[in-house]
Structure 1
Amino acid sequence: MKNSWHNFTDYLNELPISEKAKPFYVSWVKKALSWHNKAQKKSELSPISENNRKRFIKFLETRYEPWQVAQAEEAIKLYNYFISSVQTSSPEKPDQAAWSYIKEEACRLMRLRHLSYRTEKTYLSWIERFQKFTSSKAPARLTAGDFQNFLTHLAVERSVAPSTQNQALNALVFLYKNVLQQDITAAIDAVRAREKRRLPVVLEKEEVEQVLQYMPYPYYLIAGLMYGGGLRLSEALNLRTKDVDFEKRQIIVRAGKGDKDRVTILPEKLVDPLWEHLQKVRQLYEFDREENLPGVHLPEALARKYPNAGKEWAWFWLFPSPKLSVDPRTLTVRRHHLYPTSVQRAFKKALAKAGLEKPANVHSLRHSFATHLLEAGYHIRTVQKLLGHKHVQTTMIYTHLACQKLLKVQSPLDR
């Protein structure tokens, strides 16, 4: 395929860019090339280097509006991706053996860092898609450009959701940083999927109570902890018996999102039901010990240091599954905690029985926890700590939902 302006224009026509904007995209690229006195043939194009791109954008920032600068930057990124995709150099020779090693090493390092099995599967899936995108190019020859082109491919040609692209980005950053040991910090500015910020779905307090009434045991306890303590579903399911402090009315969330520990509220209403639940769980624990079953799953480092800790009551799941299952990592038959899908199904059924038509899911309970605390006048920093947010800006989204009640704003139409 010939690298011509005509072909670049055809490429832009395939993208979701307005007709009015397309000529400007071409114009920005031509300015970038001519500004650096590139000796270009009339029909052949060449990529704009990262250094020249940054210098050109810096030049534009002193003369144009921010939206024009952003448009120019996106145009150059699209142009560079177009050039990389049509270059006629001979394809790399596939290196399947090296990729097998890379994936095994990535898996080993993820387990050393105690990443969840779900994260492990997700990262390996993206690494395999990246391998396919590069035609199994030798890992030793991978560059930051390959990383950037793949993310651009996802954002521009696949039009993936921002959350999906962030998954891919996190997986490849892990691959480059920990396995390939390459610094790609400067390359993480590939064309991103456009962010669509949406406010979370929040239930009123009465609606939460209605839903909880229709959730069967033990799912109403899990839902109650999510609403009453602001837990994520994964955090609630990963609780151990030792993580409930009845005396202090606290729940200890260990290795939550970002591998951080935190303390949150044990609702008074759940103290007695949770205590009764523990007596039933104890019976299941005693059955496993009588059957001499393997202990529950533990973090790898802890399991190596204390190989029998998984058989101790303190480490037993607070919400164990009634059935045994195969540990996908070790192929050991042991007892796991309840599956997230079972809780999600119970919530959906309860939502329908309560006659609520909001597009809520089980995570809406955590959103409702944060919003209702802010409406009650609690400081946003307090809510941030209870939620386990690293940055207060993440917690700020709930102020948009709570501000009307907090400020007692009345619409002028209602006066």
Structure 2
Amino acid sequence: MPAADGPAPRLLDRVRERLRRLGRAKRTEEAYVGWIRRFILANGKRHPDTMGAPEVEAFLTRLAAHDEVSPSTQNQALAALLFLYREVLGRELPWMDDIQRAKRPRRLPCVLSEEEVAVLLARMEGRYWLMAALLYGTGMRLMECVRLRVKDVDLTRNEIVVREGKGGKDRRTILPQSLRAPLVAQVDEARRIHARDFEAGYGEVWLPHALARKHPAAAREIGWQYLFPAPRRSVDPRGGAMRRHHVDEKGLQRAVKAACRQAGLDKPASCHTLRHSFATHLLEAGHHIRTVQELLGHKDVATTQIYTHVLGRGASAVRSPLDRRRASGT
């Protein structure tokens, strides 16, 4: 209904405004708005305020039963709809026990050997080589690496600070000594790019949450600049400001895939495979699983235990009875 001072904001605009007020990431905003739009279209363009738990249950069940989405996809859709009703419409939905949950298949992660990692990295160069080496050498996730700021590289303590990782948690991970010199060079490159932007009248970077309001000068400080800046400045879609964002993660993904093909690796390796390999190789070297859990940022050690199933101490360390029979000559 139009208000006295003008038309009321559209529902999806209200969702975006609330997400931005709470400091949610742009990716979260895009995903939530997409699911809410899909929910509305699936119900004949009815306004969500005229619907409730039954329609949400039916929508999520259809995702699992008909569309066969993954558990993480269904959970994301559920989170988006719960956000809509709780944060935007001010309604609490009762717990929906009748939702058919998507089945979570138990699969072992793809892991490269140390030799395969070396062959893969040898097929890469420049910035993408350094980023891929960081994924393997630190165990970071793809976006955690892409979003690194200059101040997150602690050369004194030989640590890398991962800020707002999965679940919004900060953590520290190791800084590989073999990458110290390339990281120093990358910091210098980020400084040069920032200096050119500053001279051109720009030099600001996006700041999280309310930091931009509390410390407006921080956006121009070198410490807050991205370690891997984008080649060109771009317009921030949320505010219209001209800034230099971080490098596009798709470029690194394509570079890793291309290196896999050139190296002749048959495994379906990706950027996340380097994180899996980091964890597995640490456990193979005898490091405690709790240490690996902290470095990876896992909330539960049970998540880290999946890597114990791909160690040499597992099925591959058991001798088949057929081999014992042949060895005995019987």
Aligned counterparts, 1:199-278, within 5 A: 199-278=108-187
Greater relative CO, 1 or 2 (CA 8 Å, sep 6+): 2
- Preserved contact between residue 250 and residue 265 of structure 1 (Cα < 8 Å): yes
Q: For 1:361 and 1:348, how far apart are their aligned partners in 2?
A: 6
Task: Specify the alignment match of 2:107 in structure 1.
Answer: 198
Q: Quick check: 2:15–2:88 contact (8 Å CA) kept in 1?
A: yes
* Paired positions, count: 318
TM (normalized to structure 1)? 0.73
CA deviation profile, 1:356-379 (whole Å, cap 9, x unmatched): 111111110001111111111211
Equivalent position amino acid for 1:288 in 2? D
Q: 1:130 aligns with which of 24, 28, 39?
A: 39
CA gap 1:394/1:185 in 2 versus in 1, 3 angstroms: farther
Amino acid of the structure 2 residue aligned with 1:143: G
1:223-246: CA deviation from partner (whole Å, max 9, x where unpaired): 111111110010001110000111
Residues 62-100 of structure 1, C-alpha deviations (whole Å, 9 max, x = no match): xxxxxxxxxxxxxxxxxxxxxxxxxxxxxxxxxxx88x6
- Bigger Rg over Cα: 1
How far off is 1:407 after superposition?
9.3
Which residue of 6, 23, 27 maps to 1:114?
Answer: 23
Distance 1:233 1:160, change over 3 A: same
Q: How does 1:8-407 map to 2 (within 5 A)?
A: 101-184=10-93, 186-187=95-96, 189-402=98-311, 404=313
- Contact 2:308-2:314 within 8 A present in 1 as well: no
Moved more, 248-257 or 374-383: 374-383
Q: Distance in 2 between matches of 1:198 and 1:262?
A: 27
Q: Secondary structure at the match of 2:264?
A: coil
CA apart distance, 1:291: 0.6
Please provide the CA RMSD for this pair: 1.9
TM-score normalised over the length of structure 2: 0.91
Question: Does structure 2 conserve the Cα–Cα contact (< 8 Å) formed by 1:215 and 1:346?
Answer: yes
User: Contact between 1:324 and 1:335, CA under 8 Å: does it hold in 2?
Assistant: yes
Deviation beyond 3 Å, 4+ runs, structure 1: 405-415
Partner of 1:41: none
Once the two structures are superposed, residues 34-89 of structure 1 have per-residue CA deviations (whole angstroms, 9 ceiling, x without a partner) of: xxxxxxxxxxxxxxxxxxxxxxxxxxxxxxxxxxxxxxxxxxxxxxxxxxxxxxxx
Cα 1:227–1:329 shift into 2, 3 Å: same
User: What secondary structure sits across from 1:336 in the alignment?
Assistant: coil
CA spacing shift, 1:234–1:277, aligned 2, 3 Å: same
Question: What SS does structure 1 have at the residue aligned with 2:216?
Answer: coil
Shift of 1:113: 3.0
Q: Secondary structure at the match of 2:243?
A: strand
Distance of 1:152 and 1:327 partners within structure 2: 37
One-letter code aligned to 2:104: E
State the 1:282 CA deviation: 1.2
Q: Which amino acid in 2 is paired with 1:207? A: E
1:405, CA displacement in angstroms?
Answer: 5.9
The structure-2 alpha-carbon separation of the partners of 1:106 and 1:115, relative to structure 1 and needing over 3 Å to count, comes to same
Q: Separation in 1 of the partners of 2:314 and 2:100?
A: 39
After superposition, what is the alpha-carbon deviation per residue over 1:194-234, rounded to whole angstroms, capped at 9, x for unaligned? 22222111110111111111112111111111111110010
Q: 1:188 to 1:302 in 2, by over 3 A?
A: farther
Separation in 1 of the partners of 2:268 and 2:38?
32
2-structure distance, mates of 1:394, 1:285? 39
Task: Write the distance in 1 (CA, Å) between the matches of 2:70 and 2:192.
Answer: 45
Give 2:146's aligned amino acid: L
The percent of aligned pairs where both chains have the same amino acid is: 49
Q: Give the aligned residue type for 1:202.
A: V
Q: SS state of the match for residue 251, structure 1?
A: strand
| Contact 2:205–2:245 under 8 Å retained in 1 | yes
Unaligned 5+ residue runs, structure 2?
1-6, 325-330
* 1:403–1:117 Cα change, 3 Å: same
Distance in 1 (alpha carbons) for counterparts of 2:315 and 2:212 = 48
In the alignment, the residues of structure 2 paired with residue 122 and residue 155 of structure 1 have an alpha-carbon distance, to the nearest angstrom, of 18
Aligned to 1:75: none
Residue 313 of structure 2 aligns to a residue whose secondary structure is: helix
